[in-house]
Structure 1
Amino acid sequence: MSEIHDFAGTILSDHASELGEGPTYDAATDTLWWFNILGKELHELNLASGARRVHPLPFKASVLARIDADRQLIATEQGLMIRDIASGGFTPYVELEPAHMGNRSNDGRVHASGALWIGTMGLKAQNGAGSIYHVAKGAVTRIVTGISIPNSICFSPDGATGYYTDTRIGNIMRLPLDAETGLPVGEATVFVPAGADGGPDGSVCDADGYLWNARWGAGAVDRYAPDGRHVARYSVPTSRASCPAFFGKSADRMAVTTAYEGASADERASDTKAGFLFDLGITVNGRVEPAYRL
């Protein structure tokens, strides 16, 4: 029997994002970063000082990865960009898809090898319009095609397994990888079958190999054992939970982005915390995200 936990956490940011996504933690600066994709915003929260900043963006963006103390890799609708932290300026790095395809970036994460997995999708979430790419030192390899809403990208602690989902289909998939490169070495199989309760959104994999998945529409984060068993559900005080992230100096806390995209006026009136960033209020055995290697 799975454990069910009521929300015991706190609000980290009450700046409501239409589509909060892509949370990540930079341990070197004790800073949480996340996006409001549709609002073209990059959010920054320094945990030590409590200082918050919202950086307007010239494009839709969804994933941030540390490169070094001065630079970040940002996944955008115009491809991958390098962001200078001090100035906020962008330099083009890699084009994932031609602009005429009308796609944008969505979920992504860095493998222990320093390579990025990044998903794309149609601006109107057209069926099968997106893909998942492996990007290593600027070299782009398409590894999954015909995907509508790529999500749940994360990796086992040993780097030998990758996970992803097409939220529209609902199965969380497991893919065997070369642990040294993050490239697939076999075929994908179903790790968690689709369920009736919401859709699988973003995921992270902890140091024990358990996968934590935000459940869009169900107001929850689900925890799965390495064999795919559902072991726990943690409630979030809003319906559209979008992505979890480990944070804190020991990576022992969990942040969760949420959204109000697609909500009716009545839903927004009753779901007043939609789009907030939450601390789930539990202790986890998390991991710090690897840096992207140029």
Structure 2
Amino acid sequence: MAPALEAVAVSVLCAERCHLGEGPAYDSASDTAWWFDIIERRLFEARLGTGEVAIHALPAMASALAMVDARRQLLVTEDGLALRDIATGALERVAAVEADNAATRSNDARVHPSGTFWFSTMGRKAEPGAGTLYAFHAGAVIPLLPGITIPNAICFSPDGTVGYFADTAAGQLFRVRLDPASGLPLEAPTLLHVHAGAGGLDGAVTDAEGLIWCAIWGGARLNAYSPAGDLVRSIALPARQTTCPVFVGPAFDRVLVTSAWEGMDEAARAADPEHGRTFLLDIGVKGRAEPRVRLGGL
């Protein structure tokens, strides 16, 4: 039996509406959250202690980032990976990824505990099979799994021995056994869960105990799955098209969730008054710090 839909304390972190809010990340050293509006080429920076939010214009679509150190971030953009100087916003190309394919763009990403960075691409119009999962490891981009329509829900078990990802279009969540030292697969993925009901599996993050918290695009909720694939909690959210969670705060005891209004006409937006906003939730569990990405030979 599916768990009852829970109501928890929710606040609006940022009322600015994102066309396609995605890729939230949190830097505990500076108590700063980051997320993207992919379509509008914007990067949001929120100082959680003060509530101050800055919006940075980007020269290209970007969808996710990882912290390198106190000065730099690694961004996943529509044509590859780029280092961003936090103080100046200057970008430096690290690796081209599908730069010659105008039909695709970047999508989901998450850093493995080893420092290896998993990220994905997808068709700009969600063309079937156009997406690929990649790993940035030891300074090189390694294709992992091609032929995925909308690769999402990239996250890892706390000990780094298991990776998770979804194909939103197929409604399928997968697990794959990993080498914890490298973050690379040891075998082929296996099906863990098939989504039922409204919406689809979008971005995800694991908590300190290993539960998989996944935003449900079109479902106005955040679901939690056990490592065995059982749906164990379902939390209501105030926007229908929720996209991705991340644990934030000095104790990692709150969850930031992004949302989007992509594909919604005027009537749909009016019926969903919190569309595109970014939220903070108190769900009664703790996460952990996101690892920093290792640049390898760079």
TM-score range, shorter chain: over 0.9
- TM-score, normalised to structure 2, is 0.96
Question: Is residue 2:267 matched to residue 1:266?
Answer: yes
Deviation at 1:99, TM superposition (A): 2.1
| 1:1-294 alignment, distance < 5 Å | 1=1, 2-294=3-295
Deviation at 1:34, TM superposition (A): 0.3
What secondary structure does 2:101 align onto? helix
Farther off after superposition, 49-58 or 96-105:
96-105
Partner Cα distance (2:231, 2:125) in 1: 31
What secondary structure does 1:99 align onto? coil
Distance 1:107-1:46 versus aligned 2 partners, 3 A rule? same
Partner Cα distance (1:100, 1:192) in 2: 31
Per-residue displacement from partner, 1:82-125 (whole Å, max 9, x unpaired)?
00011000000011223235311000000011010000011111
Deviation at 1:7, TM superposition (A): 4.3
The residue type paired with residue 277 of structure 1 is T
4+ aligned runs moved over 3 Å, structure 1? none
Farther off after superposition, 95-104 or 251-260:
95-104
Partner Cα distance (1:228, 1:58) in 2: 39
The sequence identity of aligned pairs, in percent, is: 45
Question: Is the 8 Å Cα contact of residues 133 and 143 (structure 1) preserved in structure 2?
Answer: yes
Per-residue displacement from partner, 1:138-183 (whole Å, max 9, x unpaired)?
2111111101111000000110100001100011000111111011
Aligned length: 294
Deviation at 1:55, TM superposition (A): 0.2
The residue type paired with residue 235 of structure 2 is Y
Per-residue displacement from partner, 1:246-278 (whole Å, max 9, x unpaired)?
000011110100100011110111211101001
Q: Unaligned 5+ residue runs, structure 1?
A: none
Partner Cα distance (1:95, 1:178) in 2: 26
Deviation at 1:196, TM superposition (A): 2.8
Question: Is the 8 Å Cα contact of residues 21 and 36 (structure 1) preserved in structure 2?
Answer: yes
Partner Cα distance (1:181, 1:3) in 2: 38
Farther off after superposition, 22-31 or 283-292:
283-292
- TM-score, normalised to structure 1, is 0.98
Deviation at 1:231, TM superposition (A): 0.9
The residue type paired with residue 93 of structure 2 is P
Farther off after superposition, 61-70 or 133-142:
133-142
Partner Cα distance (2:242, 2:101) in 1: 31
Partner Cα distance (1:227, 1:100) in 2: 37
Deviation at 1:21, TM superposition (A): 0.3
Question: Is the 8 Å Cα contact of residues 220 and 242 (structure 2) preserved in structure 1?
Answer: yes
What secondary structure does 2:267 align onto? helix
Question: Is the 8 Å Cα contact of residues 10 and 281 (structure 1) preserved in structure 2?
Answer: no
The residue type paired with residue 91 of structure 1 is E
The residue type paired with residue 212 of structure 2 is L
Partner Cα distance (2:101, 2:170) in 1: 26
Question: Is the 8 Å Cα contact of residues 131 and 150 (structure 2) preserved in structure 1?
Answer: yes
Partner Cα distance (2:203, 2:114) in 1: 21
Partner Cα distance (1:169, 1:76) in 2: 24
Deviation at 1:4, TM superposition (A): 2.2
